[in-house]
A and B are shown apart, each in its own frame.
Chain A
C-alpha cells in the first residue's frame, strides 16, 4: 500500500513538473502560434543552471555556488530566459516551419555541448553535487517527497494562475491576434516582433523553471534528460490536451505521462522477452500513434481553446 502511495507521489511530482513545461509551450504555441521545436534546450538550460547555481563545487563542473534554493531556481529560470532571448532575436523573424527547424537545431546543439563539455557540465556523466533543499532536516524520504510534491504543485498553480490572468488580459488578446494574423495586427498598430519575442522568452523561462525543478528533484541532470525526445513528449502532451487551453495542457500532461508510464510497466511485465528489449521504442511508437490520431480526429485536442466572449458591461 505504502509502495503504491509513494509511487503515486513520485508519478504526480514528475507529471506536475512536466505540466509546467507544457504550460510554457502552450503560451508560445497555443496562445501565440510560435512553433518551438527545441523545448529540451530551455528545459535543460534551467536544469543545468539551477544545479550550477545551487549545487556544491565538483571537479569538472562549472559553478557550485551553493545559492539559497529559491535563488538558484530563479537563476535557472532567468538563464533559460536569456538563452531564449538570444535565440529569439536571431530566429523569430522566421515563419512557423523555419522557426521549428532552427529551434530544434538549438536543442540538438545544447545537448551536444553539455554532453561534450566535460570540464563544464560534467559531460556524459551529468551534473552531481546538488543537495536537495531541506532534505537534511527531513529524515523520512516519503515525507520529503511529499514536501517536494507540495513545492511543485505550488509552482504549477502559480504558473497556471499567472498565465490565465495574462491570456485573459489585453496582452492575451494581442498574442491571439498575432497568432491569427500578424499583418492585420501590425496594421492595427501592434508590433508583432516585439510581442513574439516577449512570449517566446516568458514561455521558455517557464520551461526553464520546470527543468530546474526536475533537476533538483533528482539532484542530478545529464544529457540523457535533454534529448529531443523530451521535446516530442511535451508536444504530445499539449496536442492531446488542447493547444490554447491551460487546463487542457495540464490534463494532457497527466494523460500522456500516464500512458507512457503504464505502457512501460505493461511492456516490462507482460510483453515477450524479445519485445521488452525495445520497450522505449515501442513507447514512442504508441505516443506517435496517439499524436497522429489526435491530429486526424480531434486536432483541437481534448479540451479545445474557448472563445473569449464579452462578460460584463453590455
Chain B
C-alpha cells in the first residue's frame, strides 16, 4: 500500500504537554516511517491535536525532543518547520477569508521576491515572472484538489469540505516531505472525501509521508498503515493495520465503534 523505505521521517521522544496542571500529552515516544500514511486515532480529548500543535511549535511542550529525518527540530516555530519540510492542516479549517482561493494558495511559496516593501517598486519584472510561475503552480495544485473552478471565490465562502481541500492545496505549494492532517474527512461529504483520499494516496506514491488524525474507521483501516492510538495523552497502541484490525478490544475501548471488515 505505501512506499515504506525503512527510514524515520519523524522521531518523537518523551513528548509531554501540560496545560497548567492538566497533562494533555504524556511522555509520547514514537517514530513515523518515511513513505507511510500513518493513522493516529483515539477518542475526543485524547491529545491528538495537541500532539500536532506540539510538533509544529504552536504549543510549547514541557519536555521531549522531535527530529525531522535526522534534523533536530525541537523548539522551532511553525514557519521554520514549514521551511524545513514539515507542514500541517487544521482540524477546524483556517482559510484566509476575504482572500480568493487562488490567493490563499499563492501565498505559501517561500522566498517570494515580492514579499518586501521596496521590491514591488524596484523589481517589478522579476516579481511578474515569479508570480506567473507561482500562479501556474497554484492553478495546477487547485486542479489536483478539484478546486480550480473556485479559484476566484472568497475562501471564506466555500464549503467546509472545500476548505479542507484548500488547506491541503496550500500546504502542497511548499513541497513538504511530511504532512500532518488533522481530521481531513470530518464533516466532508463522501464524494469530496473520496477525492481527498485519492489525492493523499497519489502524493504518497510520490514519496510524501503522512500522519493522519481521523475518526472515520473506514478511512483509517483502508488507507493508513501503521496505526497509532492515543488515549489520555498516552500511546496505547502501535502496530500495523492488520494488528489494529485484530485488536477489537482496542477499538471498542477507545473508539466505542466497531467497523466493517470488508
Give Cα A169–Cα B139 distance, bound, in whole angstroms: 18
**With A188-B170, A188-B171 given, is the CB distance from A183 to B102 under 8 Å?**
no
Is there an interface contact between A188 and B100, defined as CB atoms closer than 8 Å?
no
Pick from A183, A307, A309: contact of B94, CB under 8 Å: A183
Pick from B102, B107, B135: contact of A177, CB under 8 Å: B107
Counted as pairs of residues, one from A and one from B, with CB atoms less than 8 Å apart, the total is 115
**With A166-B120, A173-B106, A313-B136 given, is the CB distance from A190 to B114 under 8 Å?**
no
Is there an interface contact between B131 and A170, defined as CB atoms closer than 8 Å?
yes
Binds A, one of B60-68, B83-91, B247-255: B83-91
**With A187-B82, A187-B87 given, is the CB distance from A169 to B119 under 8 Å?**
yes
Is there an interface contact between A171 and B120, defined as CB atoms closer than 8 Å?
yes
Is there an interface contact between B107 and A188, defined as CB atoms closer than 8 Å?
yes
In the bound complex, residues from chain A placing their C-beta under 8 Å from that of B96 are 176-177, 180-181, 184-185
Give Cα A168–Cα B103 distance, bound, in whole angstroms: 11
Give Cα A168–Cα B96 distance, bound, in whole angstroms: 16
In the bound complex, residues from chain B placing their C-beta under 8 Å from that of A173 are 99, 103, 106-107
Chain A interface size, as a band, is: 20 to 34
| Shortest distance between the CB of B169 and any CB in chain A (Å) | 11
Interface secondary structure of A, over-half rule? helix
Is there an interface contact between A183 and B58, defined as CB atoms closer than 8 Å?
yes
| Shortest distance between the CB of A131 and any CB in chain B (Å) | 32
Give Cα A191–Cα B115 distance, bound, in whole angstroms: 11
Give Cα A111–Cα B222 distance, bound, in whole angstroms: 67
Identity of the chain A residue whose Cβ is nearest the Cβ of B174 in the assembled complex: A189
In the bound complex, residues from chain B placing their C-beta under 8 Å from that of A305 are 98
- The B126-145 residues at the A interface (CB cut-off 8 A) are 127, 131-132, 135-136, 139
Q: List 22 A-B contacts (CB under 8 A).
A: A162-B121, A165-B120, A168-B120, A171-B115, A171-B119, A176-B96, A177-B96, A180-B96, A184-B94, A184-B95, A184-B96, A186-B78, A187-B87, A187-B90, A189-B79, A189-B108, A191-B79, A244-B98, A308-B99, A309-B100, A309-B152, A310-B139
Interface of A toward B, CB cutoff 8 Å: 162, 165-166, 168-171, 173-174, 176-177, 180-181, 183-191, 198, 202, 244, 305, 307-310, 312-314
The 7 closest A-B pairs by CB, nearest first: A170-B114, A189-B82, A169-B120, A184-B94, A180-B96, A309-B152, A169-B114
